[in-house]
Amino acid sequence: MIYSFIFRTTPFWYLDDDGALVAQMVGFVEKLPEDWQPAWDRMRLNSKHQLEVMEESYILKEAQSSIKMQFSTITAAILSSAVLASPVVKADTLKYNRDYDYAQNSELTSFSCSDGANGLITRYGVNNLQRLQTKLQPNTYVGASPAVAKWNDPNCGKCFRATNPSNNKSLNFVVIEQNSGVVTGEEGFRLLSPSGTTSEGTLTVNVAELPSQSCWK
């Protein structure tokens, strides 16, 4: 016997034994016929997308259009959204270079993210660091990062946060140059260093990409 009904799904999130985030699609039925109500708690969707009632022989052999879907695609999309919602944090080395201090007012032509379609001169109509600063949120710095690999890189101007895990101090910065590690001005380095000076020379920081509006006005 085949019944007519509406079957809907929703993701149920949980952590497995290894601590991995898992999404399981949980189904529920609307407009269920009264004579099928006792079998509600024995209903499941099997791996072939067939709805089964685990009692006697009531089986819907072919999934209706309302439940015909690719669970793997849905799950992947949900997991991708979850990953995007949580920034990826990477450990990196922080150094300093006074060329990235606003007080130096370096010309943007000195950096990889100068002109070209992705350059900051082209996109924001500015030609030095002090003019660039007027386009940024307060207390946002500029620096170099492995995120930029070449002149006119598509990642020019991306927003990042560097955090020193030893004292939990952090700063936001916009990447304007390529480097194998993170480099910011002396002012930014002092902000993150435990001593408040540049005596450490290098620091280990955790770096995470932020939404553009966290750095740009």
List C-alpha distances in Å: 194 to 140, 167, 168. Answer: 20, 7, 10
- For tokens 């260093």, what's the residue? 193
- pLDDT (0 to 100) of residue 179: 98
Both 54 and 36 in one domain: the answer is yes
Both 128 and 192 in one domain: the answer is yes
CA-to-CA distance for 123 and 74, rounded, in angstroms? Answer: 37
Both 104 and 170 in one domain: the answer is yes
Both 174 and 156 in one domain: the answer is yes
- pLDDT (0 to 100) of residue 88: 82
Both 34 and 137 in one domain: the answer is no
- pLDDT (0 to 100) of residue 11: 58
pTM tops 0.75: no
**Beta-bridge partner residues of 140:** 172
The residue segments making up the domain with residue 14 are 6-85
Per-position pLDDT tens, the chain of length 217 = 444 445 555 555 556 666 565 555 555 444 445 554 444 444 444 444 444 444 333 333 333 333 344 444 544 554 455 444 556 889 999 999 999 999 999 999 999 999 999 999 999 999 999 999 999 999 999 999 999 999 999 999 999 999 999 999 999 999 999 999 999 999 999 999 999 999 999 999 999 999 999 999 9
In a domain, 105, yes or no: yes
3 state DSSP class of 89: strand
Both 42 and 119 in one domain: the answer is no
Domains held by the chain: number: 2
In a domain, 181, yes or no: yes
Torsion of CA 137, 138, 143, 148, to 10 degrees: -10
Both 63 and 168 in one domain: the answer is no
List C-alpha distances in Å: 217 to 134, 136, 153, 159, 207. Answer: 9, 5, 21, 12, 21
- pLDDT (0 to 100) of residue 89: 87
Both 96 and 202 in one domain: the answer is yes
Both 57 and 115 in one domain: the answer is no
In a domain, 132, yes or no: yes
Both 171 and 94 in one domain: the answer is yes
**Domain final position from 69, 85, 101:** 85
CA-to-CA distance for 120 and 42, rounded, in angstroms? Answer: 61
Both 38 and 99 in one domain: the answer is no
In a domain, 1, yes or no: no
Both 66 and 94 in one domain: the answer is no
**Domain final position from 51, 68, 85:** 85
- pLDDT (0 to 100) of residue 67: 37
Closest of 51, 56, 60 to residue 9, by C-alpha? 51
- For tokens 């910065």, what's the residue? 173
**Beta-bridge partner residues of 22:** 14
Can you say how many angstroms the Cα of residue 210 is from the centroid of all Cα atoms in its chain? 8
3 state DSSP class of 50: coil
What CATH number does residue 113 fall under?
2.40.40.10
Q: Which long-range contacts (CB under 8 A, 24 or more apart) does 46-50 make?
A: none
Q: Residues 132, 140: contact at Cβ < 8 Å?
A: no
